[in-house]
Chain A
Amino acid sequence: MERGNRIEAYVRRAGVAAGIALVAVLVLAFRVPDGRGTLGADVIMSISPTGELGLSKSGPFMSVTGLRPGGSFRGETTVHNQTGKRLAIHLRALPDSRDLDRVLQVDVTAGGTPLFRGPLGGLRGRTRAFELASGERRPLRVRAFLPRGLKRGYAGRIESVPLELSSTVEAGRA
């Protein structure tokens, strides 16, 4: 009798241990797997022609999804002075939020001439000017990137960045 009780106690303990082990296995097996890490940034840059300046490509001309530190994207359009006068041309950005102002780095060149290099927020002011003679065309290249080692300020951000062209007539020059 005494021996039978002892065996029953062992069986019960073994049953409890097996149940706990089974639950642990099930919890580990059905848990939601970890993600790959933080979300990247989604950015769309667009540009529109003006009366004076035609573009080979207008509207959204460069975009990226899931941009992470060390990543970059680029776009290009050709600017055409369709007036009869020489124009000084500037570019500026009008982002719809300030989320990426400090972290997204932008590099703008016109036909190889650097116009701007720095954080997106700096592009809210006008770039240095480039000149186009009447009828002249020049490629405008934009590259944007998140620096390697960036820890925060970009994850899950979604930003639309319209670029605005403006021009002034260079007096007395065609």
Chain B
Amino acid sequence: MTGRSRKILLTLLLVGAASALAGFGTFSAFSSTTTNSGNQFDAGTVHLTDNDAGAAMYNVSNRKPGQSTQSCIKVTYGGTLPADVKLYTTSSVGPVADYIDLTVEKGSGNPTFPGCTGFTPESTIYTGELDDFTTAKNSYANGIAAFPGAQTAWNQNDTLVYRFTLTLQDDNNANGGATPLSTGSHAFTWEARNQ
């Protein structure tokens, strides 16, 4: 081997060794990772149901003055978010509603709809004429808020029983003569909104 060849080989060897060192330095750097796993975002829920199974609380006819009808409905909150629940109506009613006294109480128990056997009253949340209820409590904003027991929010699986008592006043203006006066069909609404 000539001196020239030896120099070339030596140069290649040195370049190779330097490259190897550089490569080793580059790829042998310390490394570390950390992972945050299992992330999930679930929305809460607001869900309100009742035990009417699609039936009316009351549908009575031929009432005489002073006669009452009483019905209970149980409202169940199934949502996950703490909520307010308000009672109101968006219905309009006929003229006889001006002569019907309405009392709404809240309470507990397990009455079978629409009966009130087993109902334990806690407090009265509305007293007045049915007609006034439809004008004064006709939206969520002016609806009647009620909570189970002494709570200040409805929580999941909370229930509240509402007892409605309607009494026809002893007033001859409620006498329609040849044509009985009627309220017409009307509905009550319970609306839950998260706090």
- On A, residues with C-beta under 8 Å from B are 48-52, 54, 58-59, 80-85, 87, 134-135, 167, 169
Contact = CB atoms under 8 A, between A and B. Distances in A.
Contacts, number: 59
Interface in B30-84: 48-55, 74-76, 78
Contacts of A59: 156-157
A169 B159 CA distance: 21
Interface stretch (B106-114, B135-143, B162-170): B106-114
B49 A50 contact: yes
Nearest to A86: B53
Contacts of A169: 53-54
Contacts of B53: 52, 83-85, 87, 167, 169
Given A49-B157, A59-B157, A83 B76 contact: no
Given A51-B74, A87-B53, A82 B157 contact: no
Interface of A is mostly: loop
B76 A51 contact: yes
Interface in B90-142: 110-115
Contact of B159 (A49, A87, A134, A135): A49
Contacts of A54: 51, 74, 110, 159
Given A48-B157, A51-B49, A82-B74, A135 B55 contact: no
Given A58-B157, A85-B53, A167-B53, 9 more contacts: A49-B159, A51-B49, A51-B74, A82-B51, A84-B52, A84-B53, A84-B112, A87-B53, A169-B53
Contacts of A80: 110
Contacts of A48: 78, 156-157
Nearest to B57: A84
B108 to A, nearest CB: 11
Contacts of A87: 53
B50 to A, nearest CB: 4
